[in-house]
């Protein structure tokens, strides 16, 4: 009963986190797309097309079991989260662009995530095992992503002081929730944990490193300014693992599908920090 209750509470808990994201957004963040259309378009193309393709290739190269393969595609389809904004700030990225990308990504994910997960389910699983997000489940994703974000934006619009005060508590709650979901997902599958960490650890490491590199070097190849390329790298390289795990556990009702996002959510902090240090080395050289 306790485990069932926890799973039932996950959508509500995630809604609080997504509302916290909305507290940091304004309509100006969406309007800013028109100021940096090239940077936004390249970042979104990398996230929605390039990274889902790379995830698919990694799955086949490592021959992942079907449920873990669906979990990897769910992770790839998940948008960036608020943590990307923090890393962008720490490593001198264009935080305003990060916020814009997070805002746009959160909207697009409501539509693209169910499509990608359904295609992955049809491809990797037998017809009687499919865990796709049909219409009712897609509506559930909409309710726990878009509606709370919109509510957060409304609160910020009309009570900015309250929104500012709630920023820190919601961030702390987000970290606690992420840790709780990771532990819950890993403990539920403890019998297979060592095998799956061995398998998915390599897959998620490759995916995270590839995400960061694609997010940075592709924009630079298209002559996007340095600060915007850094913002793109962290937006694409730091996926919303909390969202992916919540969908796997409470919408798809399958803890195995949550394993890739759980392992990734542990590793991404390390890889993103190392990547940030590497791309900012030239800043230190300029100052020396």
Tens digit of each residue's pLDDT (9 = 90 or more) over 211-267: 999 999 999 999 999 999 999 999 999 888 888 888 888 778 888 898 899 889 888
User: Which tokens hold the place of 100?
Assistant: 């814009």
Q: Please check the confidence at residue 4 and state whether its pLDDT lies above 60.
A: no
Average pLDDT of the residues in 120-134: 70
Q: Is 5 exposed, middle or buried (0-12, 13-18, 19+ CB in 10 A)?
A: exposed
The answer to whether position 288 is within a domain reads no
Q: Is 264 exposed, middle or buried (0-12, 13-18, 19+ CB in 10 A)?
A: buried
Name 80's bridge partners.
239
Q: Please identify which residue in the block is written with the tokens 């934006």.
A: 153
Name 239's bridge partners.
80
Q: What are the DSSP calls for 192-224, one per residue?
A: GHHHHHHHHHHHHHHHHHHHHHHHHHHHHHTT-
CB atoms within 10 A of CB 215: 29
Calculate the dihedral angle through the C-alpha atoms of 159, 165, 166, 172, rounding to the nearest 10 degrees. 170
| More confident of the two residues 157 and 194 | 157
Average pLDDT of the residues in 65-86: 87
Report the alpha-carbon distance of residue 278 to residue 234 in Å, rounded: 13
The answer to whether position 269 is within a domain reads yes
Report the alpha-carbon distance of residue 205 to residue 91 in Å, rounded: 21
CB atoms within 10 A of CB 217: 15
Q: Please check the confidence at residue 130 and state whether its pLDDT lies above 70.
A: no
User: What are 172-216's pLDDT values in tens digits?
Assistant: 777 677 677 767 666 766 676 677 777 799 999 999 999 999 999
**How many domains does the chain fold into?**
1
Of 12-16, 52-56, 179-183, highest mean pLDDT: 52-56
Average pLDDT of the residues in 256-281: 89
Range of the domain at 34: 2-279
User: Which tokens hold the place of 225?
Assistant: 């300014």
Nearest residue to 105 (alpha-carbon basis) of 7, 179, 30, 210: 30
CB atoms within 10 A of CB 283: 12
Nearest residue to 271 (alpha-carbon basis) of 83, 39, 27: 83
Residues 54-65, buried b or exposed e (16+ Cβ, 10 A)?
Answer: bbbebbeeeebb
Report the alpha-carbon distance of residue 216 to residue 221 in Å, rounded: 9
Question: Where does the pLDDT of residue 134 fall: very low under 50, low under 70, confident under 90, or very high at 90 and above?
Answer: low
Residues 6 or more apart in contact with residue 270 via CB below 8 angstroms? none
Question: Where does the pLDDT of residue 132 fall: very low under 50, low under 70, confident under 90, or very high at 90 and above?
Answer: low
Q: Please check the confidence at residue 268 and state whether its pLDDT lies above 70.
A: yes
Report the alpha-carbon distance of residue 96 to residue 232 in Å, rounded: 11
Of 9-23, 116-130, 171-185, 203-217, highest mean pLDDT: 203-217
The answer to whether position 286 is within a domain reads no
The answer to whether position 140 is within a domain reads yes
The answer to whether position 186 is within a domain reads yes
Residue 128 vs residues 121, 125, 177, 236, 252: alpha-carbon distances, Å: 11, 8, 32, 33, 14
The answer to whether position 139 is within a domain reads yes
Task: For 275, list phi and psi in degrees, rounded to 5.
Answer: -60, -45
The answer to whether position 285 is within a domain reads no
Nearest residue to 102 (alpha-carbon basis) of 231, 246, 275, 277: 231
Q: Which CATH number do you get for residue 32? A: 1.20.1530.20
The answer to whether position 287 is within a domain reads no
User: Which tokens hold the place of 26?
Assistant: 């304004």
| More confident of the two residues 260 and 29 | 260
Q: What angle (nearest 5°) sits at the alpha carbon of residue 44, between those of residues 42 and 50?
A: 85
């Amino acid at each position: 009963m306790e485990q069932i209750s926890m799973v039932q509470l996950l959508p509500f808990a995630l809604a609080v986190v997504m509302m916290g994201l909305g507290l940091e957004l304004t309509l100006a963040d969406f309007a800013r797309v028109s100021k940096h259309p090239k940077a936004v378009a390249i970042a979104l193309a990398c996230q929605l097309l390039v990274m889902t393709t790379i995830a698919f290739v990694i799955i086949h190269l490592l021959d992942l079991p079907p449920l873990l393969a669906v979990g990897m595609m769910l992770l790839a389809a998940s948008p960036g989260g608020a943590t990307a904004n923090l890393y962008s700030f720490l490593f001198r990225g264009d935080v305003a662009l990060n916020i814009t990308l997070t805002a746009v990504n959160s909207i697009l994910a409501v539509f693209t995530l169910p499509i990608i997960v359904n295609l992955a389910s049809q491809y990797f699983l037998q017809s009687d095992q499919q865990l796709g997000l049909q219409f009712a489940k897609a509506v559930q994703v909409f309710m726990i992503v878009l509606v709370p974000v919109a509510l957060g934006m409304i609160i910020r619009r009309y009570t900015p002081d309250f929104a500012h005060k709630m920023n820190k508590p919601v961030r702390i709650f987000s970290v606690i929730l992420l840790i709780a979901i990771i532990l819950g997902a890993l403990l539920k599958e403890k019998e297979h944990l060592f095998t799956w960490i061995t398998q998915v650890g390599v897959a998620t490491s490759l995916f995270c490193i590839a995400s960061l590199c694609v997010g940075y070097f592709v924009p630079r190849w298209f002559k996007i300014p340095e600060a915007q390329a850094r913002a793109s790298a962290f937006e694409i390289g730091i996926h919303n693992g909390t969202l992916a795990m919540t969908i796997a556990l409470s919408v798809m009702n399958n803890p195995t599908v949550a394993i890739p996002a759980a392992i990734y959510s542990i590793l991404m902090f390390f890889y993103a920090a190392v990547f940030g240090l590497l791309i900012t080395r030239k800043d230190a050289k300029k100052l020396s």
